Structure 1
Amino acid sequence: MPSLHGCRTSRSPYGLHRGHRLFDETGVPYEEWDGDTLAARVPGIDTGRYWPPRRLDDGAFWADASGSLGAVYTPDAGYVTDPKLAAQNLAVAAARQGAEFRFHSAVTAIESGGGRVRAVRLADGARLPCEVVVNAAGPWSGRLNALAGVGSDFTIGVRPLRQEVAHVPAPAGYQGPAVRGSSGTVMG
């Protein structure tokens, strides 16, 4: 399913957003939409910019929008709202390439050399030679990155936490994109 990624302003963030540079480098097609284009392409969406976030008991919660939001549309790159499904998709793709799986096995070390992964060590003492590690550890991925000695330069970290998530199913017959706001909210 194609997806929309919310932008904070209706002006193009091109050149300011690392993801767009990566899209360009890897050939991922995308379109930058201003607020008017977003409203025309996704009927019924509120393109208002309500910032900063406010609590419901804050009088400013009901204030009018301070501007409009644009979006980045990725027709070939979807957004998976279900982490379990995302991990399953990665597993299926990896299996097609010959990956082997060890379930219920704790990773204790990741060996590397020359800037490449060489092996994964498990708590039972097994050493699994490999050239690639796919980190689909969800909230624990930060710990796995630390074992591999990577991720210290990531601008966003992850950690296990409890968070309330609301999911509203798309209306019957909806064929439009999934919409992910800057807060991570997904609609569609």
Structure 2
Amino acid sequence: MSEAMARDYDAIIIGAGVIGVCTGFELAKRGFRTLNVDKLPAAGYGSTSNTCAIIRLHYSTPDGVAMARESYFYWLDWGKYVGVPDPSGLARYVNTGCLVTKTEKNHYLQRVKESLDELHVAYEDLDAEGMTEKLSVLDTRQFGPPVTEEDPGFGRPSGGNVAGALYIPESGYINDPQLCCHNVQLGCEAHGGEFRFNTEVTEILREDGRVAGVRLKDGSEVRAPVVVNVGGPHSFVINRMAGVEEGMNIKTRALKQEVCHVPAPEGVDYNVVGMLISDSDIGCYSRPEVGNHILIGSEDPPCDDLEWVEDPDDYDNTFSYQWRTQVLREAQRVKGLPVPEARQGLVDLYDVSDDWIPIYDKSDLPGFYMAVGTSGNQFKNAPVAGQLMAELIEAVEDGRDHDADPVQFHMKYTRRDCDLGFFSRLRTMNPDSSYSVIG
């Protein structure tokens, strides 16, 4: 980077969700003078605050398991990672275990088992009877593949019992995702990082053929030789602003998502006996929630219409028919689950890439980087995502041609190297992706 370029900071990070704050934190720890800017009032205030904050280890590739496993160790010792006290308290990991149903769609989890084995992650291989021994309220009949409520077969068993499930005991969720972001913000500030909220970027500045900073909505400019797009559902807007979208083979879009919040079955203490459930037979995932409730999200089965949003600042943020569909699907599996008339839960946007795998990469504009397409499946990986982005940025700014010679990031806990070329904007569509939130 040109030392003659006027600068206010070494790096500007657009976004202060969980990936944004971790990226700023890791750069600040490496000596970068960082500024996170976010149009919302506080860190983690956007889609991060409305995530289910699930921490799980099951993936169909060893590399996917390795990255989740690496991050898992940071969540287990969150205070050590953050490094400073927070008067508001620390976010807490809640271990519940995870039950993943075997279906034809997920190849009966054979590849998942092989990948877990390679990383020495413990699991139990259960038949239908073993599933009910883990959670007695389960109805283990097969209902899939999922159909819409208008289908005559909706809610009716489509066969005998499901083929079984894997139970992975080291799985759970973070109790307060917004507090988690505040924790990391304080850690970043302890290393000199700065944050500006209620601050909207309207232009990506260029100078001498590379990025030079940003212009804000109030007309002021902030100069830096590195700008990182971690804009969540606004990521595609920022990429267009920077003029880099045409150079990307994989792009991102904003997708509306609904998460249902319903009471547990009567007489069941779900906060004690409940667990994460990933169930492609019914097309839903779920987890316990405080107050003896259950959160239910969609695994986006092919029968459902996906609602892509062209303007992330202007979309219908009310519940649709999808809310009732998800609850009814979950009620197929969880016996006695109520289907309330009053709809409660969350409506927000996911930042989704074309193959549902994130983009952690440079761009065709020197100095402009991207950590995008992360919504729905990358919360769990945030500490590692911040580190690999810092590693990538340092390497490229030092002259490495990442497109020709991808950066290798070493994960200290799993003792594996991660080829960052896997997350390239130039990759072809990954045929092994689930093309869903499960990732």
AA in 1 matched with 2:183: V
The question of whether the paired residues in 1 share the 8 Å contact of 2:213 and 2:221 is answered with no
Are the structure 2 counterparts of residues 50 and 73 from structure 1 closer, same or farther at C-alpha, using a change threshold of 3 Å?
same
Q: d(CA) in 1 for partners of 2:185 and 2:98?
A: 26
| Percent identity of equivalent pairs | 22
- CA apart distance, 1:173: 6.4
Alignment of structure 1 residues 163-178 onto 2, 5 Å: 163-170=257-264, 171-172=268-269, 174-175=271-272, 176-178=274-276
The question of whether the paired residues in 2 share the 8 Å contact of 1:6 and 1:71 is answered with yes
The question of whether the paired residues in 2 share the 8 Å contact of 1:5 and 1:180 is answered with yes
2:144 alignment counterpart: 51
2:14 alignment counterpart: none
The DSSP-based 3-state class of the residue aligned with 2:153 is helix
Q: d(CA) in 1 for partners of 2:197 and 2:148?
A: 42
CA RMSD, 1 decimal: 4.5
Are the structure 2 counterparts of residues 74 and 15 from structure 1 closer, same or farther at C-alpha, using a change threshold of 3 Å?
same
AA in 1 matched with 2:123: E
Alignment of structure 1 residues 126-141 onto 2, 5 Å: 126-127=222-223, 135=230, 137=232, 139-141=233-235
AA in 2 matched with 1:177: M
Question: Does 68-77 or 139-148 show the bigger shift?
Answer: 139-148
Superposed CA deviations along residues 10-44 of structure 1, whole A, max 9, x for unmatched, are 87524269xx84x778x694525434333221221
2:254 alignment counterpart: 159
AA in 2 matched with 1:89: C
Q: d(CA) in 2 for partners of 1:110 and 1:77?
A: 43
In the alignment, is residue 106 of structure 1 matched against residue 200 of structure 2? yes
AA in 2 matched with 1:42: L
Q: d(CA) in 2 for partners of 1:169 and 1:56?
A: 21
Are the structure 2 counterparts of residues 35 and 96 from structure 1 closer, same or farther at C-alpha, using a change threshold of 3 Å?
farther
In the alignment, is residue 185 of structure 1 matched against residue 285 of structure 2? yes
The question of whether the paired residues in 1 share the 8 Å contact of 2:122 and 2:169 is answered with yes
In the alignment, is residue 42 of structure 1 matched against residue 142 of structure 2? no
Are the structure 2 counterparts of residues 127 and 46 from structure 1 closer, same or farther at C-alpha, using a change threshold of 3 Å?
farther
AA in 2 matched with 1:165: V
AA in 2 matched with 1:140: H
- CA apart distance, 1:68: 0.8
The question of whether the paired residues in 2 share the 8 Å contact of 1:110 and 1:119 is answered with yes
The question of whether the paired residues in 1 share the 8 Å contact of 2:229 and 2:235 is answered with no
User: Of Structure 1 and Structure 2, which has the larger fraction of its residues in strand?
Assistant: 2
Are the structure 2 counterparts of residues 97 and 127 from structure 1 closer, same or farther at C-alpha, using a change threshold of 3 Å?
same
Superposed CA deviations along residues 61-115 of structure 1, whole A, max 9, x for unmatched, are 24324341544544444245x9xx424423423432445322122345499xxxx
AA in 2 matched with 1:64: P
The alignment covers a number of residue pairs equal to 170
Are the structure 2 counterparts of residues 15 and 92 from structure 1 closer, same or farther at C-alpha, using a change threshold of 3 Å?
same
User: Of Structure 1 and Structure 2, which has the larger fraction of its residues in helix?
Assistant: 2
Superposed CA deviations along residues 113-172 of structure 1, whole A, max 9, x for unmatched, are xxxxx99745342145779x69473x3355567768798558xx55142x5432124444
The question of whether the paired residues in 2 share the 8 Å contact of 1:120 and 1:129 is answered with yes
- CA apart distance, 1:9: 1.9
The question of whether the paired residues in 2 share the 8 Å contact of 1:3 and 1:73 is answered with yes
The DSSP-based 3-state class of the residue aligned with 1:15 is helix
Query: For 2:180, which of 85, 89, 103 is the aligned residue?
Result: 89
Q: d(CA) in 2 for partners of 1:106 and 1:28?
A: 45
Q: d(CA) in 1 for partners of 2:249 and 2:238?
A: 12
1:63 alignment counterpart: 156
The DSSP-based 3-state class of the residue aligned with 1:167 is strand
Larger Rg: 2
Q: d(CA) in 2 for partners of 1:187 and 1:122?
A: 41
Q: What's the TM-score, normalizing by structure 2?
A: 0.30
Q: What's the TM-score, normalizing by structure 1?
A: 0.58
1:114 alignment counterpart: none
Q: d(CA) in 2 for partners of 1:173 and 1:12?
A: 27
AA in 1 matched with 2:234: W
Q: d(CA) in 2 for partners of 1:167 and 1:96?
A: 32
